[in-house]
C-alpha cells in the first residue's frame, strides 16, 4: 500500500481509499443506449463486443481483446464465476439465466445514478430509456438522434405521397422544427452522427432555404431511407443550435462505417466559433484518438464539452492512460463521463468500472507527483462523474 | 525514496538528487513574452490563464484547470501562502503587493538564466526584454515577430500615402529587407505566426516578384492592419531564410484564433526540405498535440528544432507525459526549452518548474528502466536546458 | 522486486520472471532487411542509425539519441565492453573484429527464430535472406518489394527497346503478373512503399486498362528508373490483392523522403473496405505516430494487421509507452512484431530487446493493475511474438 507524502500537509491517504470515494460518486452516464432483450449465442455476443461489422479473423476470437479480457475480469464474478473465466464458461453461465436477470445483475453492478439514453440506433431490439433506467436503478433521460428523426419524418411523407414538392418541403421543415421544439419537453438533448454520414468537415454555414428545399425534395423522393445529405444534416444541426439545445456529436473512433480521418473534431472549429453565444452546447463523444484535440476545443470554446466514452471500454488495460490524457488541456468543468454502451449490460459495467479505476489512478498520481490535495482530487472527480453533466444539460433535480 | 539499481555500475542515486542537479542548470527560455505591469482583478487574471478568448463557462472558473491548480500549488508559497491556497486568497495576497514585487518574486523563482523574448504581441502593456531580464535576473535577447514588423511598415506607408503603387511596393520590400538585416545586430531570431494567419499548409515556394507586388499593393491600400496574406507571409519567411536567421514558428496548440488542424508541422515538410542548406534554422514552438510529429522533423532535418513550451504550462499534472513523449524520435541535441509565458510571471514559474520536474521524472525512468547512467542523463538535461539553444541561436558568450 | 497481488489468485510472480518467459519466445521478425557486409567508419555508422539523409547537425552526433544510447547500452556488452561505452570506444571494438563476426555476434543475441526479409532496398550491399538467416540462426523468408519488381521489369523493357507501345504494355503487365504468381512459390508476401512514392491517399479503385496502358508507356519510355506513378502502384496493389497475397505497407514514420502527413493509414480505409473478402491481408508497418489509428483499422477490418517496428528502435527509452499504446484497440490476434532493421545488426538486437522489455513492462502492468492472469499475458505475448505472423502469412511448418 502506497502512503502519500504530499506537500499540502494532508493526513496520509492510500490509493484504495481514494478509489472507494470515487466509487461512491453517483456517476451520470450521459451517452448510452439500451440493452438487448433476447438471449445471445456466442456469435451474437462476439459481434456486440467489437466495432467491426465483420466476424473475427479466422483463427481468432473477439474475446482476445481488451474488451474481452475486461468482461472476463469484471463481469464473470457478477455471474458467480472466477475472474477471467473462459469465454465459453462465461457464456454458459450467462445463458443459464434469464436475459432480464443478466441485464439487471450487470447493470446494477455498473452503479450509475443517471443515464442519457440515445434512442436512434435499432430501438426495436433494445430496451427503452425507461426500461433501462429500471434495470440500472437509475434515472434515465432521452437523447434524440437527429438523423433518425429526419428519416422518420421523410419516410412518413414519402409513404403519404403528400402533394407537390413545395408542400413536401414545408411539411418536412415544419415537422422537424416542431419535433425539436417538442423534444425540449421530454429529452435532455439531441445527437448527430454527421461523422458517419458526411464527415465532420462539413460546411459550417447555415444552409440557404433554396439549398435546403432542393435537398429535401430529393431526400423525400428517394424514400428518406438513409440521411446522407450534408445540407439536411447542417439544417438539423442549425435547428438544434437555434433552439439552444445540448448537441451530442459522434467524434473519432467508431465502427467501420466511419472514415476516421474525417472525424477529427478540429474540423468543426469554425462551427464552434460561430455558435459561442447561441445557448447551444456541444458534447463531443468518444473522441479517441483525437481526445487531446477535443480537450483543446473544450478549453477554448465555452460551449464545448467532451468525453472518452467507448474508448474506455475498448482500450481496457490501457484505459487509464487514455483517461489521463483526457485530463490535459480541458478545464475540469468541461469533461464528461459516458460508457457509450450498446446492447450488452457488460459494456455498462466495464465502461463504468474502468473509468472509475482509471480516474482513480490518474488522480492519485496527480496527488503524489503534483501535490493535489485529496479534497481537490475528489472535487474534480465529482465534477467529471456527475456535476458537469447536470450543469451542461441544465437538469433540474 | 527510490534507490537506483542501474546496470551501469553507478553508485546509488535517488530521484530527488537528480532533480536537484537538473534544478541547478541555467535554463534558457528561448521563447517567451513580457509580463503585464499593472495590477489585475480576478477576471483579468483568469483571462490570462487560458488560451480562450471567452470567459470561463458559467458555473466554472479558469482556476479549475491544470494551470490553475499548478499556480495554486507552486506560486502560492512564493507569496507566503500554503500550497493550494484558494484562488481568492491567492489573488488577495497578490493584490496586496506592488505588481513589480509580484513580478520580481515569481520571476526570480523561475530560475532562468537567459530569455528569448518575442516582442510582437501587445508590447505596449507588457515589459520590454530589458525590463523582463531585470525582473528575472537573466540575460534577455529579442525575437522579432515577422508579421508585426510587416504591419508596422505597411501602416507607416499607408499613413504617409507615399506615391504610386510601384514606389510603395519597392519601399515595403526594401524596408522589410533593411529591418531584417538590421535585426541581425540586435535580435537572436525572428518568429512567424503563419499558423494563425494562413495555416501551415502554405505554398513552400518563394513568391514571385509579381505575386508579391500585387499583394503588397493590396496590403498597404487596406491600411496594413492585420497581415493575412499568404504571399507576404511567404515573402517574410524567405527573407529570413535568405539571411540564415533562426526562425521560430508557432506550431500546434494556441488560442481559438487558430485552426489547429492546419497547424500540424508536417504541413511544412516541403519547406524544410528546400531549406536544409541555407543556414536558416526553424524552431517549432509548442507543437502539442503534434509533438511526436515535431520530433520526427527534428530527427530528419538538421535545421529543425522544437519544444513543448506552452503545453507544459497547460497540461500541468500531465506535463511529465508530454515531456517524455517529446524525448522519442528527436536527437537530444535538437530539443529546446521554453515557457511561452505571456503576461503573468506565474506562467514563467509554473512552466519552468513543471519542465524541470517532468524532465527529471522522464530521465529518472530512463535511468531505472533503460539503464541510462546518471552522467548521461545530466548531459542530455543540460543540452535541453541551455546548450542546444545557445548553439542553435549562435549565441556568443 | 515487486510481487504481484493480482485478484485472479495466481501464485506470486515477479516482473523479471515474466520477462524471462517472454525472452524465451521464438520471435518472428516479419519485416526486416539485410545487414551491410563491409566495415564502416563513424560517418557510415551514424548515417545508418537515423532516418535522415543529412549528416547530424554540426555540434551534435547521431549517438546522442535514443537509438544511439540503446546501442551503447545493449550492444557494447556483446562486444566485450561495459554498457554505455563511449561511441568511439564502441566503434573501435567493432572495427577490430571482422564484419562477419560482428554481424554474427549481434544477430545471434537478437534471439530471433524467423525473419521476413524484404529485399527491395539496396540489395547489392547487404546480405541476402539466406545469409541473414544463417547469421541469425533463424529461418528466413523473402518479401518482394512491388515497386522494385516493377522497376526491374520496366528497365529491362526500356533497355530492350522492344517493339511498339502496345507490345510494351502487354509485356509489362504480363511480366508483373507472372512474377507475382511465381513469387507465391518462394516468398511469403509483398511490400509496397506507396507511402513514399505517392502517399497513402491514393484512389482505392482498381485502375482501368486504359489508364494503366498510358501510365506503362510513359514509365517504360522514361527508363523505369523510379516508380512514382499512382496508376501503376495501384495496379501492383490490385494484382497482389487478386492473388490473395500478404501485403506489407509502409505506414507512418520513415526517412525524409516521406510526406508523413500523407502516411496516415486511415487514408486507406476505403481500400481496406473494398478488399475484406479477397483473401489478401494487409500488414501495416511501423505506423508511428499513427499506431492508434492502425489499431483501429486492425480492429474493424479482419484482414488488417500492424506493428510498431522501427519506432521501437528509434524511441528507445520511450519504446515501452509506444508498445503499450499499440495494445489498445487492436485484437491481440492482429498485432505483429518487427524490427525493420536495415544495414546494422545492432538494429536487430536493439529492436528485439526493446520490444521484449517494453512488452514485458506493459503486460506486467496489465497483470498488476488490471488483474490479467500471467498465463493470459503469456498467451498474448506468444501471439504477438510469433503465432499471429505464422497464421497471417499462412506459413506451414
Q: Minimal Cα distance from A276: which residue of B? A: B54
Domain ranges, ordered by start, for chain C:
5-38+99-392
Q: Minimal Cα distance from C8: which residue of A? A: A83
Which chains pack against C, by 3+ Cβ pairs within 8 A? A, B
pLDDT in tens, C311-340: 999 999 999 999 999 999 999 999 999 999
pLDDT for the residue numbered B168 = 87
For CA atoms B258, B260, B261, B267, give the dihedral sign.
positive
pLDDT for the residue numbered A94 = 97
In chain C, which residues have their Cβ closer than 8 Å to the Cβ of B329? 66, 253, 314-315
CB contact under 8 A, A361 and C373: no
pLDDT for the residue numbered A162 = 63
CB proximity list for C161: less than 8 A, separation 6 or greater: none
Q: Does the beta carbon of A322 lie under 8 angstroms from any beta carbon of chain C? A: yes
CB contact under 8 A, B329 and C66: yes
In chain B, which residues have their Cβ closer than 8 Å to the Cβ of A264? 261
pLDDT in tens, C46-89: 999 999 999 999 999 999 999 999 999 999 999 999 999 999 99
pLDDT in tens, C81-92: 999 999 999 999
- Half-sphere exposure of residue B23, counting CA atoms within 13 Å on the CB side? 13
CB proximity list for B198: less than 8 A, separation 6 or greater: B228, B229, B230, B233
Q: Does the beta carbon of C123 lie under 8 angstroms from any beta carbon of chain B? A: no
C-alpha distances (whole Å) from B215 to each of A392, B172, B211 are 46, 11, 6
pLDDT in tens, B94-123: 999 999 999 999 999 999 999 999 998 888
Interval B127-132 mean pLDDT: 97
Q: Does the beta carbon of B4 lie under 8 angstroms from any beta carbon of chain C? A: no
Least confident range of A104-108, B255-259, C351-355:
B255-259
Out of A331, A372, A391, name the one closest to residue B317 (CB).
Answer: A372
Out of A53, A55, A261, name the one closest to residue C266 (CB).
Answer: A261
User: How close does chain A come to B92, measured CA to CA in Å?
Assistant: 20
CB contact under 8 A, A317 and C370: yes
Share of chain B above pLDDT 90, in %: 90
- Closest-CA residue to A59 (of C375, C388, C381, C306): C388
Share of chain C above pLDDT 90, in %: 90
pLDDT for the residue numbered A280 = 98
pLDDT for the residue numbered C160 = 84
Q: Which helix (H) or strand (E) holds A255?
A: none
pLDDT in tens, B263-285: 999 999 999 999 999 999 999 99
Average pLDDT, chain B: 94
Ramachandran angles phi, psi of C255, nearest 5°:
-80, 180
pLDDT for the residue numbered C11 = 54
A38 by Cβ neighbours in 10 Å (0-12 / 13-18 / 19+) ranks as: exposed
In chain A, residues 267-306 whose CB comes closer than 8 Å to chain B: 267, 269-270, 273, 276, 292-293, 296, 299-303
pLDDT for the residue numbered B123 = 80
pLDDT in tens, B41-67: 999 999 999 999 999 999 999 999 999
pLDDT for the residue numbered C162 = 62
The structure's pTM equals 0.96
Query: Which of A5, A326, A331 to mutate: most B Cβ within 10 Å?
Result: A331
Q: Minimal Cα distance from C293: which residue of A? A: A289
**Residue C304 confidence class, pLDDT cut points 50, 70, 90:** very high
- Closest-CA residue to B136 (of B109, B176, B170): B109
pLDDT for the residue numbered B162 = 63
Out of C331, C372, C383, name the one closest to residue A317 (CB).
Answer: C372
pLDDT in tens, C220-246: 999 999 999 999 999 999 999 999 999
Angle A268-A190-A337 from CA coordinates, rounded to 5°:
80
Q: Minimal Cα distance from B299: which residue of C? A: C52
pLDDT in tens, B354-383: 999 999 999 999 999 999 999 999 999 999
**Residue B257 confidence class, pLDDT cut points 50, 70, 90:** confident
* Rounded Cα distance, C311 and C304, in Å: 19
CB contact under 8 A, C314 and B292: no
* Rounded Cα distance, C343 and C204, in Å: 33
CB contact under 8 A, A317 and C380: no
Which three-class secondary structure string do you get for chain B? CCECCCCCCCCCCEHHHHHHHHHCCCEEEEEECCEECCCCCHHHHHHCCCCCCCCCCCCCCCCCCHHHHHHHHHHHHHHCCCCCCCHHHHHHHHHCCCHHHHHHHHHHHHCEEEEEEECCCCCCCECCHHHHHHHHCCEEEEEEEHHHHHHHHHHHHHHHCCCCHHHHHHHHHHHHHHHHHHHHHHEEEEEECHHHHCCCCCCCCCCCHHHHHHHHHHHHHCCCCCCCCHHHHHHHHHHHHHCCCEEEEEECCCCCCCCHHHCCHHHHHHHHHHCCCCCCEEEEEECCCCHHHHHHHHHHCCCEEECCCCHHHHHHHHHHHHHHHCCCCCCHHHECCCCCCCECHHHHHHHHHHHHHHHHHHHHHHHHHHCCCHHHHHHHHHHHHHHHHHHHCCCCC
**Residue A149 confidence class, pLDDT cut points 50, 70, 90:** very high
Class at the top of the CATH hierarchy for domain C5-38+99-392: alpha beta
CB proximity list for B106: less than 8 A, separation 6 or greater: B75, B78, B345, B346, B348, B349
Amino acid at each position: 500500500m502506497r502512503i502519500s507524502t504530499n506537500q499540502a500537509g494532508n493526513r496520509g491517504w492510500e490509493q484504495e481509499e481514494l478509489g472507494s470515494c470515487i466509487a461512491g460518486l453517483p456517476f451520470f452516464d450521459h451517452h448510452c443506449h439500451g440493452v438487448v432483450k433476447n438471449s445471445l449465442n456466442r456469435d451474437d455476443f462476439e459481434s456486440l463486443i467489437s466495432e467491426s461489422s465483420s466476424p473475427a479473423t479466422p483463427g481468432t476470437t473477439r474475446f482476445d481483446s481488451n474488451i474481452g479480457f475486461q468482461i472476463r475480469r469484471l463481469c464473470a464474478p457478477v455471474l458467480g464465476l472466477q475472474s477471467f473465466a473462459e469465454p465459453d464458461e462465461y457464456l454458459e453461465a450467462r445463458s443459464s439465466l434469464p436475459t432480464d436477470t443478466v441485464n439487471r445483475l450487470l447493470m446494477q453492478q455498473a452503479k450509475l445514478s443517471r443515464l442519457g439514453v440515445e434512442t436512434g440506433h435499432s430501438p426495436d431490439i433494445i430496451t427503452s430509456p425507461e426500461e433501462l433506467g429500471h434495470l440500472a436503478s437509475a434515472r434515465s433521460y432521452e437523447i434524440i438522434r437527429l438523423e433518425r428523426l429526419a428519416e422518420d419524418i421523410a419516410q412518413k411523407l414519402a409513404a403519404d405521397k403528400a402533394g407537390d414538392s413545395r408542400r413536401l418541403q414545408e411539411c418536412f421543415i415544419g415537422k422537424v422544427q416542431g419535433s425539436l421544439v417538442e423534444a425540449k419537453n421530454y429529452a435532455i438533448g439531441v445527437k448527430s452522427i454527421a461523422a458517419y454520414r458526411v464527415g465532420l468537415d462539413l460546411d459550417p454555414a447555415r444552409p440557404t432555404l433554396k439549398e435546403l428545399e432542393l435537398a429535401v425534395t430529393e431526400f423525400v423522393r428517394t424514400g428518406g431511407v438513409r440521411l446522407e445529405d450534408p445540407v439536411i444534416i447542417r439544417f438539423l444541426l442549425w435547428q438544434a443550435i437555434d433552439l439552444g439545445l445540448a448537441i451530442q456529436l459522434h467524434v473519432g473512433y467508431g465502427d467501420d462505417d466511419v472514415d476516421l480521418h474525417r472525424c477529427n473534431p478540429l474540423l468543426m472549429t469554425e462551427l464552434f466559433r460561430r455558435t459561442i453565444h447561441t445557448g447551444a452546447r456541444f458534447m463531443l463523444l468518444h473522441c479517441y484518438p483525437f481526445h487531446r484535440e477535443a480537450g483543446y476545443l473544450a478549453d477554448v470554446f465555452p460551449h464545448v464539452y467532451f468525453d472518452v466514452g467507448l474508448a474506455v471500454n475498448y482500450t481496457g488495460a490501457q484505459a487509464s492512460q487514455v483517461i489521463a490524457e483526457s485530463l490535459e488541456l480541458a478545464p475540469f468543468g468541461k469533461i464528461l463521463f459516458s460508457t457509450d454502451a450498446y446492447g450488452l449490460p457488460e459494456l455498462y459495467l466495464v465502461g463504468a468500472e474502468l473509468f472509475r479505476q482509471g480516474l482513480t489512478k490518474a488522480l492519485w498520481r496527480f496527488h503524489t507527483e503534483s501535490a493535489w490535495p485529496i479534497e481537490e482530487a475528489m472535487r474534480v472527480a465529482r465534477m467529471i462523474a456527475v456535476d458537469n453533466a447536470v450543469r451542461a444539460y441544465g437538469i433540474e433535480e
